[in-house]
Protein backbone atom coordinates (compact mmCIF):
# COMPACT_ATOMS: atom_id res chain seq x y z
CA UNK A 1 0.00 0.00 0.00
CA UNK A 2 1.16 3.51 -0.80
CA UNK A 3 -0.20 7.01 -0.30
CA UNK A 4 0.35 10.06 -2.51
CA UNK A 5 1.28 13.75 -2.65
CA UNK A 6 0.47 15.85 -5.72
CA UNK A 7 2.63 18.98 -6.09
CA UNK A 8 0.26 21.58 -7.47
CA UNK A 9 1.46 24.86 -5.92
CA UNK A 10 3.73 26.36 -8.62
CA UNK A 11 3.05 29.66 -10.41
CA UNK A 12 3.00 28.16 -13.93
CA UNK A 13 4.64 31.27 -15.37
CA UNK A 14 5.31 29.66 -18.75
CA UNK A 15 1.56 29.31 -19.28
CA UNK A 16 0.60 32.91 -18.53
CA UNK A 17 -1.97 34.36 -19.10
CA UNK A 18 -3.91 31.09 -18.72
CA UNK A 19 -2.47 30.69 -15.23
CA UNK A 20 -3.58 34.16 -14.07
CA UNK A 21 -6.87 32.76 -12.85
CA UNK A 22 -6.26 29.01 -12.90
CA UNK A 23 -3.34 27.08 -11.42
CA UNK A 24 -1.57 25.06 -14.13
CA UNK A 25 -2.79 21.67 -12.80
CA UNK A 26 -6.41 22.89 -13.03
CA UNK A 27 -6.13 23.76 -16.74
CA UNK A 28 -8.23 21.48 -18.92
CA UNK A 29 -6.74 18.72 -21.03
CA UNK A 30 -9.16 16.35 -22.75
CA UNK A 31 -12.16 17.82 -20.95
CA UNK A 32 -10.82 17.51 -17.39
CA UNK A 33 -8.22 19.24 -15.18
CA UNK A 34 -4.69 17.84 -15.50
CA UNK A 35 -4.94 16.85 -11.81
CA UNK A 36 -8.00 14.68 -12.47
CA UNK A 37 -6.08 12.67 -15.08
CA UNK A 38 -3.28 12.23 -12.53
CA UNK A 39 -5.68 11.07 -9.81
CA UNK A 40 -6.94 8.35 -12.18
CA UNK A 41 -3.35 7.25 -12.77
CA UNK A 42 -2.67 7.12 -9.02
CA UNK A 43 -5.83 5.17 -8.39
CA UNK A 44 -4.93 2.60 -11.03
CA UNK A 45 -1.78 1.90 -8.99
CA UNK A 46 -3.89 1.37 -5.85
CA UNK A 47 -3.35 4.81 -4.27
CA UNK A 48 -6.54 6.09 -2.68
CA UNK A 49 -5.20 8.58 -0.13
CA UNK A 50 -3.70 11.76 -1.61
CA UNK A 51 -2.64 15.16 -0.31
CA UNK A 52 -2.79 18.07 -2.75
CA UNK A 53 0.16 20.35 -1.88
CA UNK A 54 -1.21 23.74 -2.92
CA UNK A 55 -0.04 27.32 -2.69
CA UNK A 56 -0.66 29.60 -5.71
CA UNK A 57 -4.48 29.94 -6.19
CA UNK A 58 -4.98 27.20 -3.60
CA UNK A 59 -8.66 28.12 -3.24
CA UNK A 60 -9.44 26.72 -6.72
CA UNK A 61 -8.79 23.07 -5.84
CA UNK A 62 -11.07 22.38 -2.88
CA UNK A 63 -14.44 23.23 -4.48
CA UNK A 64 -13.61 20.91 -7.38
CA UNK A 65 -12.08 17.91 -5.60
CA UNK A 66 -13.74 18.18 -2.16
CA UNK A 67 -12.95 15.17 0.02
CA UNK A 68 -12.33 13.00 -3.06
CA UNK A 69 -15.29 10.69 -2.48
CA UNK A 70 -16.56 11.31 -6.03
CA UNK A 71 -13.44 9.45 -7.21
CA UNK A 72 -13.52 6.85 -4.43
CA UNK A 73 -10.45 8.51 -2.89
CA UNK A 74 -9.56 10.40 0.26
CA UNK A 75 -8.20 13.82 -0.75
CA UNK A 76 -6.64 16.21 1.75
CA UNK A 77 -5.06 19.64 1.29
CA UNK A 78 -1.78 21.07 2.60
CA UNK A 79 -1.72 24.80 1.84
CA UNK A 80 1.56 26.73 1.87
CA UNK A 81 1.02 30.40 2.61
CA UNK A 82 4.25 31.05 0.75
CA UNK A 83 5.51 28.45 -1.76
CA UNK A 84 8.00 26.14 -0.05
CA UNK A 85 9.54 24.71 -3.23
CA UNK A 86 9.09 21.07 -4.17
CA UNK A 87 11.01 19.68 -1.14
CA UNK A 88 9.38 21.98 1.42
CA UNK A 89 5.97 21.18 -0.07
CA UNK A 90 6.54 17.42 0.26
CA UNK A 91 7.63 17.81 3.90
CA UNK A 92 4.60 19.96 4.68
CA UNK A 93 2.10 17.65 2.96
CA UNK A 94 3.54 14.47 4.52
CA UNK A 95 2.44 15.72 7.96
CA UNK A 96 -1.08 14.60 6.96
CA UNK A 97 -0.02 11.09 5.93
CA UNK A 98 0.70 7.85 7.82
CA UNK A 99 4.40 7.07 8.32
CA UNK A 100 4.18 3.33 7.66
CA UNK A 101 3.51 3.42 3.90
CA UNK A 102 5.54 4.40 0.85
CA UNK A 103 4.79 7.93 -0.30
CA UNK A 104 4.41 8.56 -4.04
CA UNK A 105 5.03 12.17 -5.09
CA UNK A 106 3.74 13.46 -8.43
CA UNK A 107 4.72 16.70 -10.16
CA UNK A 108 1.36 18.24 -10.95
CA UNK A 109 2.15 19.03 -14.56
CA UNK A 110 3.02 15.63 -15.99
CA UNK A 111 0.97 13.18 -18.02
CA UNK A 112 2.46 9.73 -17.71
CA UNK A 113 1.32 6.22 -18.58
CA UNK A 114 4.29 4.52 -16.88
CA UNK A 115 3.87 1.43 -14.72
CA UNK A 116 3.57 3.06 -11.29
CA UNK A 117 2.63 -0.19 -9.54
CA UNK A 118 5.92 -1.69 -10.72
CA UNK A 119 7.84 1.43 -9.62
CA UNK A 120 6.40 1.08 -6.10
CA UNK A 121 7.10 -2.66 -6.09
CA UNK A 122 10.75 -2.23 -7.09
CA UNK A 123 11.18 0.57 -4.54
CA UNK A 124 9.96 -1.71 -1.77
CA UNK A 125 11.97 -4.74 -2.97
CA UNK A 126 15.14 -2.61 -3.09
CA UNK A 127 14.35 -1.10 0.34
CA UNK A 128 15.25 2.17 -1.36
CA UNK A 129 15.25 5.64 0.16
CA UNK A 130 13.80 7.10 -3.03
CA UNK A 131 12.93 5.59 -6.42
CA UNK A 132 12.55 8.03 -9.28
CA UNK A 133 10.74 7.46 -12.54
CA UNK A 134 13.28 8.19 -15.29
CA UNK A 135 12.35 8.54 -18.93
CA UNK A 136 14.52 8.69 -22.04
CA UNK A 137 14.15 11.75 -24.24
CA UNK A 138 15.61 12.39 -27.73
CA UNK A 139 17.31 15.59 -26.59
CA UNK A 140 18.20 15.86 -22.90
CA UNK A 141 19.82 19.31 -23.25
CA UNK A 142 16.81 21.29 -21.94
CA UNK A 143 16.70 19.05 -18.83
CA UNK A 144 19.10 17.95 -16.15
CA UNK A 145 20.02 14.30 -16.75
CA UNK A 146 20.11 11.42 -14.26
CA UNK A 147 22.62 8.60 -14.90
CA UNK A 148 22.26 5.20 -13.20
CA UNK A 149 24.69 2.28 -12.68
CA UNK A 150 24.15 -1.35 -13.71
CA UNK A 151 22.13 -2.02 -10.51
CA UNK A 152 19.77 0.85 -11.31
CA UNK A 153 21.22 3.15 -8.65
CA UNK A 154 21.31 6.85 -9.42
CA UNK A 155 24.92 8.05 -9.58
CA UNK A 156 24.39 11.81 -10.04
CA UNK A 157 21.96 14.64 -10.70
CA UNK A 158 23.47 16.68 -13.46
CA UNK A 159 22.36 20.21 -14.39
CA UNK A 160 21.43 21.13 -17.97
CA UNK A 161 24.48 20.84 -20.25
CA UNK A 162 25.43 21.02 -23.94
CA UNK A 163 26.48 17.35 -24.13
CA UNK A 164 24.42 15.31 -21.63
CA UNK A 165 26.12 12.04 -20.68
CA UNK A 166 22.82 10.15 -20.79
CA UNK A 167 19.36 10.83 -22.24
CA UNK A 168 17.47 9.65 -19.13
CA UNK A 169 15.82 12.50 -17.25
CA UNK A 170 13.86 12.92 -14.05
CA UNK A 171 10.23 12.34 -15.05
CA UNK A 172 8.74 13.91 -11.90
CA UNK A 173 7.24 10.91 -10.07
CA UNK A 174 9.05 9.69 -6.95
CA UNK A 175 8.45 6.95 -4.38
CA UNK A 176 9.83 7.93 -0.95
CA UNK A 177 10.52 5.98 2.20
CA UNK A 178 8.56 8.10 4.73
CA UNK A 179 11.56 8.45 7.08
CA UNK A 180 13.52 10.17 4.27
CA UNK A 181 10.84 12.85 3.99
CA UNK A 182 11.21 13.47 7.72
CA UNK A 183 14.85 14.51 7.18
CA UNK A 184 13.72 17.52 5.07
CA UNK A 185 13.57 20.62 7.32
CA UNK A 186 10.07 21.90 8.07
CA UNK A 187 8.87 25.27 6.79
CA UNK A 188 11.94 26.02 4.68
CA UNK A 189 12.08 26.64 0.94
CA UNK A 190 13.78 23.53 -0.45
CA UNK A 191 13.97 21.90 -3.87
CA UNK A 192 13.98 18.11 -4.15
CA UNK A 193 15.62 18.25 -7.56
CA UNK A 194 18.41 20.67 -6.65
CA UNK A 195 18.96 19.88 -2.95
CA UNK A 196 17.36 16.75 -1.49
CA UNK A 197 18.21 14.26 -4.28
CA UNK A 198 21.79 15.43 -5.01
CA UNK A 199 22.56 15.44 -1.27
CA UNK A 200 21.10 11.94 -0.82
CA UNK A 201 23.24 10.62 -3.68
CA UNK A 202 26.35 12.39 -2.35
CA UNK A 203 25.73 10.82 1.08
CA UNK A 204 25.39 7.31 -0.44
CA UNK A 205 21.62 7.16 0.09
CA UNK A 206 19.78 4.37 -1.72
CA UNK A 207 18.40 6.34 -4.65
CA UNK A 208 17.17 4.15 -7.50
CA UNK A 209 15.98 4.94 -11.01
CA UNK A 210 12.92 3.23 -12.48
CA UNK A 211 13.36 3.54 -16.23
CA UNK A 212 10.08 3.30 -18.13
CA UNK A 213 9.65 4.84 -21.56
CA UNK A 214 5.87 4.68 -21.79
CA UNK A 215 4.00 7.81 -22.84
CA UNK A 216 5.30 10.82 -20.86
CA UNK A 217 4.82 14.55 -21.29
CA UNK A 218 5.52 17.65 -19.19
CA UNK A 219 2.60 19.93 -20.06
CA UNK A 220 4.31 23.07 -18.68
CA UNK A 221 4.65 24.92 -22.01
CA UNK A 222 1.85 26.16 -24.30
CA UNK A 223 2.58 23.75 -27.14
CA UNK A 224 2.95 20.81 -24.76
CA UNK A 225 -0.37 21.58 -23.08
CA UNK A 226 -2.18 21.31 -26.43
CA UNK A 227 -0.22 18.21 -27.40
CA UNK A 228 -1.09 16.51 -24.09
CA UNK A 229 -4.78 17.10 -24.64
CA UNK A 230 -4.68 15.81 -28.22
CA UNK A 231 -2.74 12.72 -27.07
CA UNK A 232 -5.40 11.93 -24.46
CA UNK A 233 -8.24 12.45 -26.94
CA UNK A 234 -6.65 10.33 -29.66
CA UNK A 235 -5.59 7.58 -27.25
CA UNK A 236 -1.80 8.06 -27.45
CA UNK A 237 -1.87 8.73 -23.69
CA UNK A 238 -3.83 6.78 -21.09
CA UNK A 239 -7.18 8.51 -20.57
CA UNK A 240 -8.80 6.34 -17.92
CA UNK A 241 -10.15 9.47 -16.17
CA UNK A 242 -12.60 9.81 -19.08
CA UNK A 243 -15.27 7.55 -17.66
CA UNK A 244 -18.52 6.97 -19.64
CA UNK A 245 -20.59 9.06 -17.22
CA UNK A 246 -18.54 12.15 -18.21
CA UNK A 247 -18.23 11.69 -21.95
CA UNK A 248 -20.89 12.52 -24.55
CA UNK A 249 -18.96 11.48 -27.70
CA UNK A 250 -15.39 10.35 -28.25
CA UNK A 251 -14.41 9.51 -31.83
CA UNK A 252 -10.63 9.11 -31.68
CA UNK A 253 -10.30 12.51 -33.34
CA UNK A 254 -12.54 14.54 -31.03
CA UNK A 255 -14.00 14.54 -27.54
CA UNK A 256 -17.25 16.15 -26.48
CA UNK A 257 -18.01 16.09 -22.78
CA UNK A 258 -21.52 15.69 -21.38
CA UNK A 259 -23.22 19.05 -20.93
CA UNK A 260 -21.51 20.62 -23.97
CA UNK A 261 -23.75 21.97 -26.73
CA UNK A 262 -22.30 21.34 -30.17
CA UNK A 263 -24.42 22.30 -33.18
CA UNK A 264 -24.70 19.46 -35.72
CA UNK A 265 -23.33 21.90 -38.34
CA UNK A 266 -20.02 22.36 -36.44
CA UNK A 267 -16.88 20.33 -37.17
CA UNK A 268 -14.64 19.18 -34.30
CA UNK A 269 -11.41 17.45 -35.30
CA UNK A 270 -7.63 16.91 -34.93
CA UNK A 271 -7.93 15.83 -31.30
CA UNK A 272 -10.02 18.80 -30.11
CA UNK A 273 -12.00 18.63 -26.89
CA UNK A 274 -15.14 20.49 -25.89
CA UNK A 275 -15.81 20.75 -22.14
CA UNK A 276 -18.98 20.68 -20.11
CA UNK A 277 -21.15 23.76 -20.66
CA UNK A 278 -19.28 25.00 -23.75
CA UNK A 279 -21.40 26.07 -26.74
CA UNK A 280 -20.24 25.61 -30.34
CA UNK A 281 -22.44 27.26 -32.97
CA UNK A 282 -23.36 26.15 -36.50
CA UNK A 283 -20.56 26.30 -39.07
CA UNK A 284 -17.75 26.56 -36.50
CA UNK A 285 -14.62 24.50 -37.11
CA UNK A 286 -12.57 23.54 -34.03
CA UNK A 287 -9.27 21.91 -34.92
CA UNK A 288 -6.47 20.70 -32.61
CA UNK A 289 -7.86 22.89 -29.82
CA UNK A 290 -9.05 22.90 -26.22
CA UNK A 291 -12.37 24.58 -25.46
CA UNK A 292 -12.81 24.92 -21.69
CA UNK A 293 -16.03 24.75 -19.70
CA UNK A 294 -18.65 27.36 -20.47
CA UNK A 295 -16.78 28.95 -23.41
CA UNK A 296 -18.90 30.04 -26.35
CA UNK A 297 -17.80 29.83 -29.98
CA UNK A 298 -19.90 31.79 -32.49
CA UNK A 299 -21.18 30.78 -35.95
CA UNK A 300 -18.63 30.10 -38.69
CA UNK A 301 -15.60 30.59 -36.42
CA UNK A 302 -12.35 28.75 -37.16
CA UNK A 303 -10.35 27.89 -34.01
CA UNK A 304 -7.08 26.14 -34.86
CA UNK A 305 -4.36 24.88 -32.46
CA UNK A 306 -5.68 27.14 -29.71
CA UNK A 307 -6.77 27.12 -26.08
CA UNK A 308 -10.05 28.90 -25.31
CA UNK A 309 -10.28 29.46 -21.56
CA UNK A 310 -13.33 28.86 -19.40
CA UNK A 311 -16.16 31.27 -20.08
CA UNK A 312 -14.47 33.09 -23.01
CA UNK A 313 -16.85 34.29 -25.72
CA UNK A 314 -15.73 34.24 -29.36
CA UNK A 315 -17.73 36.39 -31.79
CA UNK A 316 -19.24 34.96 -35.01
CA UNK A 317 -16.79 34.37 -37.91
CA UNK A 318 -13.63 34.88 -35.79
CA UNK A 319 -10.51 33.19 -37.21
CA UNK A 320 -8.11 32.22 -34.41
CA UNK A 321 -4.93 30.24 -34.85
CA UNK A 322 -2.20 29.21 -32.37
CA UNK A 323 -3.45 31.43 -29.55
CA UNK A 324 -4.54 31.46 -25.92
CA UNK A 325 -7.89 33.15 -25.63
CA UNK A 326 -9.31 34.37 -22.33
CA UNK A 327 -12.22 36.73 -21.78
CA UNK A 328 -9.88 39.70 -21.82
CA UNK A 329 -6.97 38.83 -24.11
CA UNK A 330 -5.67 36.84 -27.06
CA UNK A 331 -1.99 35.85 -26.89
CA UNK A 332 -0.07 34.06 -29.66
CA UNK A 333 1.46 30.73 -28.73
CA UNK A 334 5.18 30.74 -29.59
CA UNK A 335 5.83 28.16 -32.36
P1 LIG B 1 6.76 27.42 -14.29
O2 LIG B 1 6.66 28.67 -13.44
O3 LIG B 1 6.14 27.65 -15.64
O4 LIG B 1 8.14 26.85 -14.35
O5 LIG B 1 5.83 26.29 -13.60
P6 LIG B 1 5.76 25.79 -12.07
O7 LIG B 1 5.61 26.96 -11.17
O8 LIG B 1 4.65 24.80 -12.00
O9 LIG B 1 7.16 25.12 -11.78
P10 LIG B 1 7.66 23.66 -12.13
O11 LIG B 1 7.14 23.27 -13.47
O12 LIG B 1 9.13 23.61 -11.94
O13 LIG B 1 6.99 22.80 -10.97
C14 LIG B 1 6.90 21.38 -11.03
C15 LIG B 1 5.70 20.96 -10.19
O16 LIG B 1 5.91 21.30 -8.81
C17 LIG B 1 4.42 21.66 -10.61
O18 LIG B 1 3.38 20.72 -10.53
C19 LIG B 1 4.23 22.77 -9.59
O20 LIG B 1 2.86 23.05 -9.36
C21 LIG B 1 4.88 22.17 -8.35
N22 LIG B 1 5.53 23.17 -7.50
C23 LIG B 1 6.59 23.96 -7.84
N24 LIG B 1 6.94 24.74 -6.79
C25 LIG B 1 6.07 24.44 -5.78
C26 LIG B 1 5.91 24.94 -4.44
O27 LIG B 1 6.63 25.81 -3.96
N28 LIG B 1 4.91 24.37 -3.70
C29 LIG B 1 4.08 23.40 -4.19
N30 LIG B 1 3.11 22.93 -3.39
N31 LIG B 1 4.20 22.94 -5.45
C32 LIG B 1 5.18 23.45 -6.23
- For residue 228 and ligand 1, the question of a CB distance below 6 A is answered with no
Residue 220, ligand 1, Cβ within 6 A: yes
Within 10 A of 13 (CB to CB), how many other CB atoms are there? 10
Distance from the alpha carbon of residue 333 to the mean position of ligand 1, in angstroms: 21
| pLDDT tens for each residue of 24-33 | 999 999 999 9
Write out the H or E segment, with its range, that includes residue 81.
none
In a domain, 231, yes or no: no
CA–centroid distance, 7 to ligand 1, in Å, is 7
287 domain residue, yes or no: yes
Q: Is residue 230 a part of any domain in this protein?
A: no
**Global pTM?**
0.95
- pLDDT, position 164: 86
Residue 180 within any structural domain of the chain: yes
Q: How many domains does the chain have?
A: 2
Inside any domain, residue 232: no
Provide the CATH number for the domain around residue 278.
2.160.10.10
Residue 89 CB–ligand 1 contact under 6 Å? yes
pLDDT in tens, 205-245: 999 999 998 999 999 998 999 999 999 999 999 999 999 99
Quick check: 96 pLDDT over 90?
yes
Residue nearest to atom 7 of ligand 1 (CA): 10
318 Cα–ligand 1 center, Å? 34
Q: Tell me if 109 sits within 8 A of 218, measured CB to CB.
A: yes
Does residue 125 share a domain with residue 179?
A: yes
Cis omega (within 30 of 0) on the bond before 17?
yes
174 φψ region: left (φ > 0), alpha (ψ -120 to 50), beta (else): beta
Q: How far is the CA of 152 from the centre of ligand 1 (A)?
A: 27
- Identify whether residues 183 and 301 lie together within a single domain: no
Is residue 275 situated within a structural domain? yes
What 3-state class would DSSP assign to 192?
helix
Instruction: State which ligand 1 atom lies nearest to the alpha carbon of 14.
Output: 3
| Rounded to 5°, angle at Cα 154 from 12 and 165 | 80
163/117: higher pLDDT: 117
118 lines ligand 1 (CB under 6 A): no
Domain encompassing residue 26: 2-218
Quick one: which of 242, 235, 90 has its CA closest to 177? 90
3-state secondary structure of 280: strand
Q: Is residue 20 part of a domain?
A: yes
- One domain, residues 191 and 281: no
State whether 275 and 133 are in the same domain.
Answer: no
Residue 208 lies in a domain: yes
Amino acid sequence: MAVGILLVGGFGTRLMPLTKNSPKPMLTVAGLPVTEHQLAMAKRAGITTIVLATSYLSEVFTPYFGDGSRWGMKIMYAVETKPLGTGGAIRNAAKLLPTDQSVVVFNGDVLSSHNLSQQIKEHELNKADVTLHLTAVDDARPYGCVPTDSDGRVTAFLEKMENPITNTINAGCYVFKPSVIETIPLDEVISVERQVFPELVANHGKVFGFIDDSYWLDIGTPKALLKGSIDLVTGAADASALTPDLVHTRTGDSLIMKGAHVDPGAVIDKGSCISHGAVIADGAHISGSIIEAGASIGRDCAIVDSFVAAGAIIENSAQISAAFVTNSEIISIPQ
